Each structure stands twice: as C-alpha cells, then as structure tokens.
Amino acid sequence: MPNKMKPKTNPNNAHALAQSERAVNSHRRTASESAKPTLSRSLASKSAWPQLSAKTKSVASTQVRLNKFLASAGIASRRKADEMIQNGEVEVNGKLVTELGFKVNPEKDKVVAAGRIVTLHRRKIYILLNKPKDAISTTHDERDRRTVMDFIDIDERVYTVGRLDRNTTGALLLTNDGDLAHRLMHPSFGVPKEYLAELDKKITRADLQKLKSGLRLSDTGEKTSECEAEILGDGTYVWLKLHEGKNRQVHRMFWTLGYDVKKLDRVSYAGLTTKGLRRGQWRNLLPKEIEHLRKMVERETKT
Ligand code: URA
C-alpha cells in the first residue's frame, strides 16, 4: 500500500475566509476586463501537460480541422498545431499532411503527431478541487508523495491547470481539455488569481503599495506587474489579486519585502471560488462555469 495520508476534511478558517470572500466580491472583475490583447509566448511553453493524450476512444462523427483535432486531444494550442502541421510533424493515415485546413474524421482517421498516435478523450472533464496542504500538484509522484489525484475518485485521466505549491491550499482546476488548459495558463490572457496570505508580521501601508505597484523580485530580478492588494484583519493577512503566475510568486513578492508567508490560500482561480468545498473536496464545474472559462480565453492565439 502506498504510504499516503487520507484526504482531510478540515473546515476552512472561517474568519479569514469570510474576510477574503468579502474582499473577493468587492474586487471581482468581468472575464472580458481581465483578457489582454496580445499573445507573446508559445502556449505550451509553461505547460505541465503531456505531449499526447492518454485516452484512446474518439467520439466525434463528423470531419474536423486537423489543428482543432490536435488541440482537443491536448497536443497543443491550435496555433501550435498549425506550426506542427507546417513543420511536417503530422501524418494522417500514413501520409504526411502539411496543408493547413486539412480535415479528419476522428472516428476513422489515424493521426500521428511527433511520432505518436493521437486520440480524443471520450468526454471532457472539468474539476475544481479545494486543494489541501501537503499535496503536490501533479498527477503522479515517483516518490509516492500525496498528490492532488489522491483526492479525486474518477477513472479518467486529468491534469492540473498550473500548479500550487505543496503547502498552498485552495482553488485548483483539473481537466482533460488540453486546449482550454493551455489557454488558461498562457500569461497573455492574464487569468485572475486571488490569494489570501497570512504573514509572519503586520504589513506596512508602504509595503502594500509596493506590492500593488509591482516590484523587482529580489532573487531573480524579474519585475511583477501591478496587482490589487488589501490588508485584512489585524494586518497580518493580505488579500491579493494577480493576473500572472510566476513560480512561487506570492511567496517571493513577500520575501522581497522582508515578510514570510505562513499560510497561503488561493481563494479563486479565473473567478471560480472554493466556496462550499472543504479542503480536499472537489466538484465538477457547471456548464455555465465552463462557458465562462472559454469566454475568458476565447480569441484566436497569435505568437
Ligand atoms: N504563489 C506562491 O508563492 N505559491 C503558490 O502556490 C501560488 C502562488
């Protein structure tokens, strides 16, 4: 038996979360406000997604464009799929296809991309997990540590949309919709993420202003973008709304200013909150929530 802990069902920190929810509601922006106009980097560049889909049954019965088929299977964004096609990396029924706009029948045609067979997932799954502490944001861990998949009892294979640190709690999306996941993770869409951080000491107004204006991270010198931030409670809680996701960004922003983050909770991702979910609990997204995510990242991508 793997040495893993049972999922926890701790109630949330009611006081801090009530405060954060108030802050969240008072700062909520629409999806269209948060979208930004240009794409600068490859959609797949920061992705933890596997190159090929693991599920093997296809469902569509009509012809679809090859780039859309590849995107639906989680191979790459449509734009990247076009590049793969043009670069001669895609075969259909044993023949190289370099024509953009080529159509395939997902039921019948055998598509091979970068040397491996591509198949569609049977059904799309969209899950919101309230991630507990001490769980890593991968689907499999070679060292047999507890992963987020230990909390989700489904047979289908899903992947995390981005990552949370092992001890960060809160909203984490999992899906087998590679195209949507790539888009949500792409920095150019500026998908909003709200956090509640508990600090080792009270933050000053001057430091709060530095967080809001954007600062240069002390370890790498990267510049953070402007964000929204508010002091909560006695001054040791800070609510933040970011539109970017540099590695361990919240911790590093506070370290730069001389604070330690004792606890970090992501109270919402792309407008989806963990309200009603205890730590370790998950739910399928509602159709209107999936639609909301699609709208947030719906424009065609450009490199
Ligand atoms: N920022 C962090 O420092 N950690 C996370 O898990 C997410 C954002």
Same domain for 176 and 204: no
Give the pLDDT mean for 194-219.
98
- State residue 244's pLDDT score: 96
Same domain for 257 and 199: yes
Grouping H, G, I as helix, E, B as strand and the rest as coil, residue 20 is helix
Same domain for 206 and 160: no
Pick the most confident of 19-28, 79-88, 115-124, 214-223: 214-223
Checking if the pLDDT of 302 tops 90, the result is no
The closest-lying atom of ligand 1 relative to the alpha carbon of residue 195 is: 8
Q: Running DSSP on this structure, what letter comes out for residue 236? A: T
Same domain for 107 and 162: no
pTM: 0.67
Higher pLDDT: 37 or 137? It is 137
> Which of 130, 133, 136, 164 maximizes ligand 1 atoms within 8 Å of its Cβ, making it the mutation to test the pocket?
164
- State residue 300's pLDDT score: 57
- State residue 108's pLDDT score: 81
- Domain residue limits at 70: 59-117
- State residue 3's pLDDT score: 42
Q: What is the CATH number of the domain that holds 233?
A: 3.30.70.1560
Q: Are strands 228-232 and 159-160 parallel, antiparallel or unpaired?
A: unpaired
Same domain for 239 and 92: no
Grouping H, G, I as helix, E, B as strand and the rest as coil, residue 96 is strand
- State residue 4's pLDDT score: 45
> Which of 195, 217, 240, 256 maximizes ligand 1 atoms within 8 Å of its Cβ, making it the mutation to test the pocket?
195
- State residue 179's pLDDT score: 85
Is 17 a domain residue? Answer: no
Percent of the chain as helix, strand, coil, to the nearest 5? 25, 20, 55
Give the pLDDT mean for 68-82.
85
Is 235 a domain residue? Answer: yes
The closest-lying atom of ligand 1 relative to the alpha carbon of residue 163 is: 6
Q: What is the pLDDT of residues 107-133, one digit of tens each?
A: 788 898 988 788 776 689 999 999 999
pLDDT tier at 11, thresholds 50, 70, 90:
very low
Count up the domains in the chain and report the number. Answer: 3
Same domain for 259 and 159: no
Is 8 a domain residue? Answer: no
Q: What is the CATH number of the domain that holds 97?
A: 3.10.290.10
Last residue of some domain: 76, 99, 117?
Answer: 117
Is 24 a domain residue? Answer: no
| Lowest mean pLDDT segment, chosen from 37-46, 174-183, 201-210, 217-226 | 37-46
CB of 164 sitting under 6 A from ligand 1:
yes
- State residue 13's pLDDT score: 37
- State residue 5's pLDDT score: 40
Same domain for 82 and 214: no
Q: What is the CATH number of the domain that holds 298?
A: 3.30.70.580
Same domain for 105 and 227: no
Is 131 a domain residue? Answer: yes
- State residue 66's pLDDT score: 93
- State residue 114's pLDDT score: 86
- State residue 154's pLDDT score: 86
Are 168 and 132 contacting, i.e. CB atoms less than 8 angstroms apart?
Answer: no
How much distance in Å is there from the Cα of 164 to the middle of ligand 1? 6
Which residue from 196, 236, 250 is spatially nearest to 18, judged by alpha carbons?
A: 196
Checking if the pLDDT of 257 tops 50, the result is yes
Two structure tokens written together for 230: 């508010």
Give the pLDDT mean for 150-164.
91
Same domain for 180 and 281: yes
Checking if the pLDDT of 52 tops 70, the result is no
Alpha helices by DSSP H, 27-94? 31-34, 66-72, 78-86
How much distance in Å is there from the Cα of 89 to the middle of ligand 1? 36
Is 4 a domain residue? Answer: no
Same domain for 251 and 225: yes
Checking if the pLDDT of 28 tops 70, the result is no
Cα Rg for the chain, rounded, in angstroms?
Answer: 21
Is 7 a domain residue? Answer: no
- State residue 121's pLDDT score: 60
Question: Would you please indicate which residues are annotated as catalytic (active-site) residues?
Answer: 165
Same domain for 203 and 303: no
Is 138 a domain residue? Answer: yes
Same domain for 130 and 278: yes
Polymer length in residues for the chain: 303
